[in-house]
Structure 1
Amino acid sequence: MAEATLDKPAGAVTVLVTRRVKAGHEAAFERTSGDMTAAASAFPGYLGGQLIRPEAEEGSDDPALYHVVFAFDSAEHLQGWQQSPTRSLGLAAIAPHIESQTVRQVSGLGYWFAAPVGPKQNPPPRWKVAVVTWLGIFPTVYVLFLTVAPFLADWPLLPRVMLLTALVVLLMTWLVAPQLTRWLKPWLYPAVRQVS
């Protein structure tokens, strides 16, 4: 297993696990993976998770490659999950169904702007990341204020802000930011011109 992590990330931490599933083991893998996600959801700080099947991944031509994305609200809570006997049991249950696994951990906005797979590319400059982040957060917050906020009018301020910001993070991480970075990929990652 190859693993890449960032040392002591501050704030929320997102983990991307890529597993190559053995042929004929897809259903068993999905079941055990779902069991592991359900177990993780009971741990403190768990923010959410999702299994991404090969057919759901745009441009994927590898029917054996599955991805799991999940997040915890802090490195400490993630570490609590990673060092738990529950996780060890889950990994043991998954092991017979996979050929290989890689784990990538990022914090904050890094996952939203991970460089595309392929030739080595430099990350976009911070000002571009800021522009795209604002382009995602502004309409997301606006829509939530129009749709969800009216139902929370009687809530105290702190729980209201906590729920709305949690929804913004979830929507940005799994819906808005991936779509924006796909649309704006040529601007974020301009092709390097070859000099002959």
Structure 2
Amino acid sequence: MEQEDHIVTVVISQIVKPGCESAYETWLKDITSACASYAGHLGTNVIRPQPGVRPEYVIIFRFDGYENLKVWMTSRDREYWLNQAQNLVRSDPHIQQINGLSAWFSLPGQPLKTPPRYKTALLTWAVVSVLINVLNRLLTPLLRNLPAVMISLIISAVMVALLTYIVMPWVSRVFSSWLYGKSRGV
């Protein structure tokens, strides 16, 4: 694992044994609560299995930096909760770590693979440039009675939400052959 002072995301996937889903959901709430008590924890997302699409649970933990992530990953709490899940899952979890904006560049239903940083930086810059100009033109007239700081906060919040949930997943699919190389399927 690389030591860096920016957001670190850990993606854990595992397949739950048939009939153990309810117990796994309870375990998931407990380990998520335990993780949330650690310094630097920025949030946890869970992607549940979808029949015919993805058989595994995908759990995404975000931390503000490598050192705080390392404290969680080597903690007795985490070890305890992993031991509690052993009878609920088919095998050990598959764990991947990604840093910074790379988390935007993952394709749904595909194993997590991040493209070269220069490609993520270039594509992010292009998308942010277009999106900030569009949002400024559309939202600034509607918000003109607010202080400039509030306008900036609102526009940046809308931009981050759009980038995270709509724009970057779409852009990642559209530019997947350039980002990942010709052999990468969508």
Q: Are residue 105 (structure 1) and residue 97 (structure 2) matched?
A: yes
- Please state how far the C-alpha of 1:106 moved relative to its aligned partner: 1.6
2:59 to 50, 64, 68: 68
Identity %: 31
Q: Are residue 53 (structure 1) and residue 52 (structure 2) matched?
A: no
Distance 2:73 2:115 in 1: 28
1:132 to 123, 132, 143: 123
Distance 1:81 1:173 in 2: 25
Give the direction of change, closer, same or farther, for the CA distance of 1:8–1:137 in structure 2 (3 Å limit). same
Gaps of 5+ in 2: none
- Please state how far the C-alpha of 1:86 moved relative to its aligned partner: 2.1
Distance 1:41 1:175 in 2: 26
- Please state how far the C-alpha of 1:62 moved relative to its aligned partner: 4.1
TM, length-normalised to structure 2? 0.70
Aligned residues: 171
Q: What is the DSSP-based 3-state SS (H/G/I as helix, E as strand, rest coil) of the residue aligned with 1:96?
A: coil
Structure 2 counterpart of 1:3: none
Structure 2 counterpart of 1:37: 32
Q: Are residue 123 (structure 1) and residue 115 (structure 2) matched?
A: yes
Q: Cα RMSD over matched residues?
A: 3.8
1:50-99 CA-to-partner distances (Å, cap 9, x unmatched) read 1101229xxx6343x11111110011111121222222222122222111
25-34 or 46-55, which deviates more:
25-34
Q: Are residue 8 (structure 1) and residue 3 (structure 2) matched?
A: yes
Distance 2:22 2:135 in 1: 37
What is the one-letter code of the residue matched to 2:19? G
What is the one-letter code of the residue matched to 2:42? L
Gaps of 5+ in 1: 1-5
Give the direction of change, closer, same or farther, for the CA distance of 1:122–1:20 in structure 2 (3 Å limit). closer
Give the direction of change, closer, same or farther, for the CA distance of 1:24–1:16 in structure 2 (3 Å limit). same
Distance 1:143 1:34 in 2: 37
Structure with the greater relative contact order (CA < 8 A, sep ≥ 6): 1 or 2? 1
Structure 2 counterpart of 1:178: 169
Q: What is the DSSP-based 3-state SS (H/G/I as helix, E as strand, rest coil) of the residue aligned with 1:54?
A: coil
> Contact 1:10–1:107 at 8 Å: present in 2 too?
no
Distance 2:5 2:90 in 1: 32
Structure 2 counterpart of 1:188: 179
Give the direction of change, closer, same or farther, for the CA distance of 1:122–1:89 in structure 2 (3 Å limit). closer
- Please state how far the C-alpha of 1:32 moved relative to its aligned partner: 1.0
Give the direction of change, closer, same or farther, for the CA distance of 1:154–1:35 in structure 2 (3 Å limit). farther
1:19 to 14, 23, 40: 14
Give the direction of change, closer, same or farther, for the CA distance of 1:9–1:47 in structure 2 (3 Å limit). same
Note the 1:155-174 alignment, pairs <5 A. Answer: 168=160, 172=163
